[in-house]
Amino acid sequence: MQKRSPQPNRPKPGPNPLTSPVVARIVADVRRRQAEAEQAAANRLLPSNRFTDALGKAYAAPLTFAGGVAGLANVAAARLAGDKRAGISVRDNGIQFESGYLGEKDRAFTLGNAVLHGPGSRPEDPVGRSYDRQPTQANTAEHESGHTYQYQKFGFVPLYLLSALYGALNGTPNPYEREADDFANWVHRQRRSQR
């Protein structure tokens, strides 16, 4: 009979490091910071009263008008092409032009308080991505509503364009997209807590 060689001493598995108090504290800290960022975005974007909301909408009105004309043409083209899902609704601080003919598939674009959805895109669709690579359960309308409130702030358009250019040149995410993500997560959490 052959003699078996002794098995090397393997260390016994210890406690799972992911369940340690240190990791739990780090996870709690990350969640707390995310909640603070979401609340800060809501504080920055939401108007303080109806007057400032109406003033912001008036300020964004020329872009909303342009977005409305483009949205109507886009939805009409989609309807003519046979897309029965194409339509118009009003929700989340904007006019939603749903499932348009032109644009990127399953994406949306905001102009003033008009949200133009690309082919197949609907307001209730999940965002599916986050600009800071954090998981999100927010839908497209919640994310784009962040942009509608941004348009109601004086000077948003040139600042957004400069940030987009800077981000494209340096490979960094646009802070206005991150703010819209944080706002969308805050809105989503508020709605979920009211159910």
Task: Tell me the pLDDT of the chain averaged across its residues.
Answer: 87
pLDDT at 103: 81
Confidence at 2, pLDDT banded by 50, 70, 90 = low
pLDDT digit string, tens, across residues 27-49: 888 889 888 988 998 998 999 89
Confidence at 130, pLDDT banded by 50, 70, 90 = low
Query: Region 2-13: what's the mean pLDDT?
Result: 64
Distance CA 171, CA 153 (A): 26
In 3D, which of 110, 116, 121, 109 has the Cα closest to residue 85? Answer: 121
Least confident of 15-24, 85-94, 114-123, 127-136: 127-136
Does residue 184 contact residue 146 with C-beta atoms inside 8 Å? yes
Query: Region 60-68: what's the mean pLDDT?
Result: 96
The dihedral sign for the CA sequence 156, 104, 70, 76: negative
Confidence at 170, pLDDT banded by 50, 70, 90 = very high
Does residue 181 contact residue 132 with C-beta atoms inside 8 Å? yes
94-98 and 108-111 beta bridge pairing: unpaired
In 3D, which of 38, 56, 79 has the Cα closest to residue 189? Answer: 38
0.75 cut: is pTM over it? yes
Q: How many residues does the chain have?
A: 195
Whole-number percent of the chain with pLDDT over 70: 87
**Residue with tokens 């749903």, as numbered in its chain:** 98
Query: Region 61-82: what's the mean pLDDT?
Result: 95
Residue 53 has pLDDT above 90, yes or no: yes
Which residues does residue 116 pair with via DSSP β-bridges, in sequence order?
Answer: 97, 109
In 3D, which of 189, 192, 191, 195 has the Cα closest to residue 39? Answer: 189
3-state secondary structure of 59: helix
pLDDT digit string, tens, across residues 91-113: 999 999 998 888 888 788 999 99
